[in-house]
């Protein structure tokens, strides 16, 4: 098994984040429209409620997207584009039942990986392609061609 190139992982993450961001912006627009239909003017508490609602929904979109897509096939849309997949460290697929928890932990660890100047992602340059969230979840990302 060959580790996926770091550049491909980065571009795949960018594609995935564009999908998640686009979905979150749609939620924000719908929330504004829904709020605007019910009131004559926007108020500070109303704006705060819209942004809080959008933040909560965007967080669920992020968690669902990365957890659900990674737990079964090990691939998000961005990873599919580049032919890379998330597997367990022992070489097995993430799997649905045990994979839900592993995928959820991996997804939640993204926040830690990104929190301090993306150092958790830069670890891949020094740890054979493994990021902080890979280490925490016991996963690695490989090229599919090598997996066959």
Confidence check: pLDDT of 73 > 90: no
Phi/psi region, residue 106 (left: phi>0; alpha: psi -120 to 50; beta: rest), is alpha
Give this prediction's pTM: 0.88
Q: pLDDT per residue over 56-72, tens digit each?
A: 999 999 999 999 999 88
Confidence check: pLDDT of 98 > 60: no
Q: Which two tokens stand for residue 27?
A: 């939620």
Confidence check: pLDDT of 148 > 70: no
Buried/exposed 59-72: b ≥16 CB within 10 Å, e otherwise: eebbbebbbebbbe
Residue in the block written with tokens 């960018």: 14
Confidence check: pLDDT of 147 > 50: no
């Amino acid at each position: 098994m060959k580790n996926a190139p770091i550049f491909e992982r980065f571009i795949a993450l960018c594609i995935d984040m564009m999908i998640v961001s686009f979905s979150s912006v749609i939620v924000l627009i719908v929330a504004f429209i829904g709020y605007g239909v019910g009131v004559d003017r926007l108020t500070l508490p109303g704006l705060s409620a819209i942004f809080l609602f959008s933040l909560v929904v965007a967080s669920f979109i992020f968690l669902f997207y990365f957890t659900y897509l990674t737990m079964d096939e090990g691939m998000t849309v961005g990873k599919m584009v580049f032919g890379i997949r998330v597997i367990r460290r022992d070489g097995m697929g993430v799997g649905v039942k045990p994979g839900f928890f592993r995928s959820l932990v991996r997804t939640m660890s993204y926040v830690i990986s990104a929190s301090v100047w993306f150092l958790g992602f830069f670890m891949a340059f020094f740890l054979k392609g493994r990021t902080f969230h890979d280490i925490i979840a016991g996963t690695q990302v490989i090229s599919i061609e090598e997996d066959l």
